[in-house]
Amino acid sequence: MLQNQAYAWKEENSNLQNEHNKQLAEIYGNNQKDIEDVKKRHSCIVKSLKDEINNQKSNIQLLEKQSLQKEREFKEKISRLQLQYEDRIKDMISAEMKEINIKNLNGIVRSPLSYYY
């Protein structure tokens, strides 16, 4: 009788242990699944952030190139304008000199020395 009781307790203990192990395996399995899901989400987020960083780097490089191009264009425009104004000033001076020479030739403007001759 005690032997039957001991066998029954052993059987019950074994069943409880099996049930306990099943629950632990289920919990562990769920935790592993959750861990894997978190790892996947984390890797997706990291990849997305890396892609965004690379995209922003590309945008910055493009903006730098555009900025350098605009700067070159601006310097070229300033240089052209400067040459145009220098040419205009030379033309104005030349025209003024021609007018002075014409006036001198016509005797409109006389040199102070010309009064002595």
Residue 19 lies in a domain: yes
Q: Residue 63 falls within a domain, yes or no?
A: yes
* Inside any domain, residue 78: yes
Q: What is the DSSP string of 60-107?
A: HHHHHHHHHHHHHHHHHHHHHHHHHHHHHHHHHHHHHHHHHHHHHHHT
- Total domains in the chain come to 1
Tens digits of residue pLDDT in 60-94 = 999 999 999 999 999 999 999 999 999 999 999 88
Quote the pTM value: 0.49
d(CA 117, CA 113): 7
* Cα distance between residue 24 and residue 2, in whole Å: 32
What domain range is 63 assigned to? Answer: 2-109
* Residue 53, domain member (yes or no): yes
Closest CA to 104 of 10, 54, 20, 113: 113
